[in-house]
Amino acid sequence: MRLTRTLLPVMKESPADAQIISHKLMLRAGLVRQTAAGIYAWLPLGLRVLRNIERIVREEQDRAGAIELLMPTLQSADLWRESGRYDAYGPEMLRIRDRHEREMLFGPTNEEMVTAIFRDAARSYRDLPRILYHIQWKFRDEVRPRFGVMRGREFLMKDAYSFDMDEAGARHSYNRMFVAYLNTFARMGLRAIPMQADTGPIGGDLSHEFIVLAETGESEVFYHANWERPAALRHVDFDDVAGLRSIVSGYTADYAATDEKRDAAREAGAGDALRQSRGVEVGHIFYFGTKYSSAMGLKVQAKDGSEVVPQMGSYGIGVSRLVGAIIEASHDDAGIVWPDAVAPYAVGLVNMRADDAACATAADDLYARLRTAGVETLYDDRDERGGAKFATMDLIGLPWQMVVGPKGLAKGVVELKRRATGERHELAVDDAVARIAQA
Q: What CA–CA distance (Å, rounded) separates 45 from 251?
A: 36
List pLDDT tens digits, range 126-173.
999 999 999 999 999 998 898 999 999 999 999 999 999 999 999 999
Q: What is the mean pLDDT of residues 347-373?
A: 95
- Which domains are present in the chain? 3-336 (3.30.930.10), 347-438 (3.40.50.800)
**Across the chain, which distance is largest between two alpha carbons, in Å?**
82
Q: What is the mean pLDDT of residues 79-94?
A: 94
CA angle, 39 as apex, 57 and 135 as ends, to 5°? 20
Is the pLDDT confidence value at 255 over 50? no
Is residue 13 exposed (0-12), middle (13-18) or buried (19+ Cβ within 10 Å)? exposed
* pTM score, whole prediction: 0.92
User: pLDDT-based confidence at 270, cuts 50/70/90?
Assistant: low
CB atoms within 10 A of CB 382: 16
List pLDDT tens digits, range 375-428.
999 999 999 999 999 999 999 999 999 999 999 999 999 999 999 999 999 999
Q: What is the mean pLDDT of residues 282-309?
A: 96
Is the pLDDT confidence value at 352 over 70? yes
Among the listed ranges 268-282, 286-300, 365-379, which one has the minimum average pLDDT value?
268-282
The pLDDT value given to residue 215: 78
The helix (run of H) or strand (run of E) holding residue 222 is strand 219-224
The partner residues of 138 in beta bridges, in order of sequence, read 155
Q: What CA–CA distance (Å, rounded) separates 7 from 31?
A: 10
Alpha-carbon torsion, ordered 212, 215, 220, 223, to 10 deg:
60
Q: What CA–CA distance (Å, rounded) separates 40 from 48?
A: 15
| The amino acid at 11 | M
